[in-house]
Structure 1
Amino acid sequence: MKLAGQSHSLINRLALLFALLTFAATATLGYALYRALEQQLTVRDDAALVNRVDQLRTLLRDVDVVDLIRQKPHLFANMLGNREALLVLQYPGQAPLIEVNPGNSRVPDVKPVVADAPLSLDAVHHRIEPDGTPFIAVSAAAITSHAQEPLLITSGRLLTERTRMLGNYRDQIVLLAAIMSVLSALLAYWIARRGLSPLRKLAEQTGAIGIRNLSVRIDSADAPQELLPLITGFNGMLDRLESSFTQLSQVSADMAHDLRTPIGNMLGQTEVALGQRRDVEYYQRLLGSNFEELQRLSKMTDSMLFLARAEHADHVIERKAVDVSAEFQRLADYFEGPAEERDVRLVLRGEGGVWADAVLLRRALANLLANAVRYAEPGSEIILAASQEAEGTTITVENTGPTIAEHHLARLFDRFYRADPSRHASSSSSGLGLAIVRSIMTLHQGKWSAESRDGVTCFSLFFPTAQQ
């Protein structure tokens, strides 16, 4: 399996690709040169054969052919030049006066060029022998001084030597292409290894990062320009992971602390109750106290589940135009009873619409109103207002009560964070209300903030419009 993985590595694939490209380029160039050489040799051989026949026509014009053949038969053999040539002299319809054919080639049956017509390369006929060797031939009529009819000259040549030379040239091209491919593959392998060395360093750095050293970041000082976006993305991912891990650790610790208190209370009270027989009223008070603690645990569990679903990447909300005044009135009716118990009055200001998920909008505003009712001074007002802007709708919840210190405001929307430590064990709050508000606003791509000065605390939620 290791060898298979290496054979499909990026370096090996780049080397193989370079080798194939080099072989294709070299072979293509070699083929073009081969074809050019073959064409030049063809023209040369055709011209040599035409020139030989033309010389014979000139020679035989002023001599007695029969007498010349009888006195100097070797002259025609010498004119051929090699053992692969062919020469046949004959009058039409008669036996050959002379036939020089040392290679025993088949005499071609081609139409001769007339006696008074000039010879050109078009007069050359080409054929392929059964063994694949090319054969060229020219047939022409010649006027002699002592004959009434023209003499037929047929000359040909078997191109074995040219075929062998071209074959050697072709083999050299293939060998050169193969050698160049191997050299190109080795060079590409070396270049790829050097070029990918920053990736190996990056892999080593990322492999060394674990839970214990999430604060370590990848060094981009000596990294090539092409890897900078990747390194930046990795470091950004590590920032998010470190933040999430830190937050998760904090949440786990806070949640364990918050769960330990009600569980410890119920265990302690139950243990005391089981120590000896009690009256019915005692057990009723114990069950009532345990019921309150269980309600707090249930509320905390529901809130944590909601946050987990809300912060999921695939969470989809159903936004639509929601009437502000109608939602404000719905919330006022719901909080009328708690507000009267705290001797506070709800004031509603604003109209128009807001682009939001109606259910999530109610939950966010309900959490803010619950906090406002809980911490408002008796006899004061809680103002629920909305203002319309071109970019969106801003909803504010304002109450009069204890001023929240500046260093607490930035963390009010964190999970389990309470600005008032004395209320940490309160059964009426799970410490997740404002964290839920933050998650809801994140789903709406909105903004959230809190201000507190001179005894007036104001929470603001901004919902962008559909176009935004």
Structure 2
Amino acid sequence: MNRVPAVKSPYVLLVRLTVAFAVAALLVFSLMGAYLYRSLAHELERRDDVEISGKLAQFRQLLTDAGSFEAVRRDQSVFREVLLSHPGVYLAILGERRELLAHHGSKTVVEFQTLLRQGSLPGVPYSCKSGAIGDARCVSASQKLRSGEVAQVLLSRSALDRQSLLQSYRIDILLAVAIGSLLVGALGYLITRRGLVPVKSIGRQASRIEAHNLSDRLDIDGGPVELQEIASSVNRMLDRLERAFVRLSQFSSDLAHDMRTPLATLLSASQITLSRTRTIDEYEALIESNIEEYEQLQRLIENMLFLARTDNAQQVLNVSEINAESELGRLASYFQGLADESNIRITVQGSALVEADTGLFRRAVSNLVSNALEHATPDSTVELRALQTPQHASVEVVNCGKVIAPEHLGKIFERFYRADASRHGSAKNTGLGLAIVKSIMQLHRGTVDVESAAGRTAFSLRFPRNTLKSSKTQPT
């Protein structure tokens, strides 16, 4: 069962980045707020501990001065006066049987005995809780009086005012986090909107480029570095499209011209022949002439179909190992009759094992040989050479004759391109032979090169080795 691919919904980059800014700000501000809240809570608790620890030392000294439990009960005002400026601090002095000797605080029902914690270190504050005062910080210590009696001093500091302050601070932090996140989101929106201006500019420039102005390019001067690579890639793509469009336009023009010539010849010859009564011999001559033009059109159409298949990777390769010396010998014998018309000799040199499609190999070499014979000087020699290397097998076709001008060397493999414009539209030359050779070599992942100097022109086909493993596969 085939799975249906999930459809991805489009999204607005500006909105996504704005939300990302806001979420990031919310996370950062929340962490900072939590840190500040915990720091304040710890600092307030430390201050409470310092307060009750300091008072504990003071009350222990007052107990030493009192001397006995009786004096403590009698002079409770001495202990209470110390805490008049410390609201929220509660004092309890307990006897040896935990009876209450003295206390201070507005909470008269505080059960001080419940605030004592077993195992607590003397003078070390700890958290405690009572139904009367709620959460608090407590500290206790024993003090021996001059009478020999031992009193227990307990101080507790209510956390009510501390918790009230922290609650107010918590609300302020939440408001600050919310407002800060919204502000950062708004700023992120403005920054992102400003930052996406070059992207929109590139989009507007690209939308204005059409077939009639493919020479226009995206202006990336002064733009962000991050977009320059994208713009450069688009410009390179436009370069390729422009070249392809120019080639296509030229190709269409050349194709129309090459087809118009034989059709015009057929039409005019037929009209002239039919303009008056002709003899049978004249009609036969017309038919023979028309057959030549039909053959020319047939060759042109077949070549065009072949190039179309190779352009769309529809040509299947049947790769095998070819004895280049033997194949070149057969081709030399085949073309020798044509070469004899110009007293041209064809020689074969060297040997090599070529991994290629046999039919396409013969077609590529035949096109080069036909081209060499067409441009070779009479009474000269066309050389067919084979050369073997560990990486490649090469086949060369060399002829003596007029050299190809340097400005034409890079263009002769283009379709319908002719270095000699006077030969355009000749009956034997469609201008596609070298283009077919190039396509065949591209199918084999090989190369075709040409050198022309000192009265000699050499075409070289280079076939890669070790391709049999990928034989009978469709090229990509």
Normalised by the length of structure 1, the TM-score is 0.78
Separation of aligned partners in 1, 2:409 and 2:249? 21
String of CA shifts for 1:401-420, please: whole Å, max 9, x gaps.
Answer: 66766765554322112345
Tell me: CA distance 1:56–1:433, structure 2 relative to 1, closer, same or farther (3 Å): same
Instruction: Name which of 28, 32, 40 aligns with 2:35.
Output: 32
Separation of aligned partners in 2, 1:81 and 1:15? 53
String of CA shifts for 1:323-364, please: whole Å, max 9, x gaps.
Answer: 432332243344355445665432112234567666544332
SS in 2 for 1:140: strand
String of CA shifts for 1:14-52, please: whole Å, max 9, x gaps.
Answer: 444344434433433343333333223222212322332
Give yes or no for contact 1:441–1:448 (8 Å, CA) kept in 2: no
Which position in structure 2 is the counterpart of 1:110? 116
Separation of aligned partners in 2, 1:234 and 1:370? 42
Separation of aligned partners in 2, 1:249 and 1:130? 96
Deviates more, 1:14-23 or 1:280-289: 280-289
Which position in structure 2 is the counterpart of 1:52? 55
Give yes or no for contact 2:133–2:158 (8 Å, CA) kept in 1: no
Which position in structure 1 is the counterpart of 2:350? 350
Which position in structure 1 is the counterpart of 2:302? 302
Q: How does 1:151-170 map to 2 (within 5 A)?
A: 151-170=151-170
Separation of aligned partners in 1, 2:128 and 2:290? 110
Deviation at residue 296 of structure 1 after TM alignment: 3.5
Deviation at residue 373 of structure 1 after TM alignment: 3.5
**What is the number of residues matched between the two proteins?**
454
Which position in structure 1 is the counterpart of 2:245? 245
Confirm whether residue 87 of structure 1 aligns to residue 91 of structure 2.
Answer: yes
Confirm whether residue 368 of structure 1 aligns to residue 368 of structure 2.
Answer: yes
Deviation at residue 60 of structure 1 after TM alignment: 1.9
SS in 2 for 1:61: helix
Confirm whether residue 460 of structure 1 aligns to residue 459 of structure 2.
Answer: yes
String of CA shifts for 1:129-174, please: whole Å, max 9, x gaps.
Answer: 799963222333332345x642333332220111122233333333
Give yes or no for contact 1:112–1:139 (8 Å, CA) kept in 2: no
Separation of aligned partners in 1, 2:420 and 2:32? 84
Separation of aligned partners in 1, 2:268 and 2:65? 143
Tell me: CA distance 1:408–1:220, structure 2 relative to 1, closer, same or farther (3 Å): same
**Unaligned segments of structure 2, at least 5 residues:** 1-8, 467-476
Separation of aligned partners in 1, 2:330 and 2:131? 103
Report the residue type matching 1:143 in the other structure. K
CA RMSD of aligned residues (A): 4.3
Normalised by the length of structure 2, the TM-score is 0.76
Deviates more, 1:318-327 or 1:364-373: 318-327
Deviation at residue 211 of structure 1 after TM alignment: 0.9
Equivalent pairs: percent with the same residue? Answer: 33
Report the residue type matching 2:458 in the other structure. F
Deviation at residue 240 of structure 1 after TM alignment: 1.8
Which position in structure 2 is the counterpart of 1:198? 198
Tell me: CA distance 1:307–1:70, structure 2 relative to 1, closer, same or farther (3 Å): same
Deviation at residue 284 of structure 1 after TM alignment: 7.4
Report the residue type matching 1:51 in the other structure. G
SS in 2 for 1:142: strand
Separation of aligned partners in 2, 1:318 and 1:106? 102
Separation of aligned partners in 1, 2:317 and 2:102? 105
Tell me: CA distance 1:316–1:45, structure 2 relative to 1, closer, same or farther (3 Å): farther
Give yes or no for contact 1:46–1:136 (8 Å, CA) kept in 2: yes
Deviation at residue 374 of structure 1 after TM alignment: 4.2
Confirm whether residue 126 of structure 1 aligns to residue 127 of structure 2.
Answer: yes
Give yes or no for contact 2:403–2:457 (8 Å, CA) kept in 1: no
SS in 2 for 1:364: helix
SS in 2 for 1:139: strand
Which position in structure 1 is the counterpart of 2:138? 137
Instruction: Name which of 59, 64, 67 aligns with 1:61.
Output: 64
Separation of aligned partners in 1, 2:82 and 2:453? 121
Deviates more, 1:308-317 or 1:370-379: 308-317
Report the residue type matching 1:181 in the other structure. S
Deviation at residue 440 of structure 1 after TM alignment: 3.6
Tell me: CA distance 1:77–1:303, structure 2 relative to 1, closer, same or farther (3 Å): farther
